[in-house]
Amino acid sequence: MDRGLASAQAELLPEYLAAIAGETTLCGQIGALLRASASIHRRRPAITPFLASMSLELRRHPDLLAVLEDVGTPLVITLHEMFDAARRSGEIPSDAEDLDLMIAFSGAAMGIGLLSFGLGHASMDSAVGTLERTMTGTFFGPGTE
């Protein structure tokens, strides 16, 4: 499992970092990460349930945490930097906790991928688009607050 996790992260990390490089706002960066997840899911749909299972496996096999930290550190550092920049610019509340943000956005991407895989739906694109429109305030009609 250690090699599988490292291999999955090695595939994801460059694509995620490239996706966010062209974005200047946290909203844009999160959208880019979601779209990158959808792209990866199209190529390798089984990667999402594998990575989603890691949170459960960590409870049973704490030794996996070291592997996850080793291969995930570059992305986690990047996420912290993104969140800090968004706080400084006023894009997000100054009291928003990094862990809560990571759980929310990573959980959304993993959840979409996991359900897409489980339901045999080959594409995450439409669901990711719905989530992006929700994030940018263009999904719900006027007066639906």
Domain boundaries, the chain: 2-135
The reported pLDDT for the residue numbered 2 is 58
Residue 37: which residues within 8 A CB-CB, separation 6 or more? Answer: 48, 109, 112, 113, 124, 128
The reported pLDDT for the residue numbered 67 is 65
The reported pLDDT for the residue numbered 80 is 93
First to last CA, the chain: 44
CA proximity to 104, closest of 64, 134, 59: 134
Options 1.10.3470, 1.10.357, 2.30.30, 3.30.379; CATH for 2-135 is: 1.10.357
Query: How far is 24 from 29, CA to CA, in rounded Å?
Result: 7
The reported pLDDT for the residue numbered 121 is 80
Low-confidence ranges of the chain (pLDDT < 70): 1-5, 67-72, 145
Q: What is the pLDDT of residues 47-71, one digit of tens each?
A: 877 777 777 777 787 777 776 666 5
Tell me the whole-structure pTM to 2 decimals. 0.85
Residue 85: which residues within 8 A CB-CB, separation 6 or more? Answer: 26
3-state secondary structure at position 123: coil
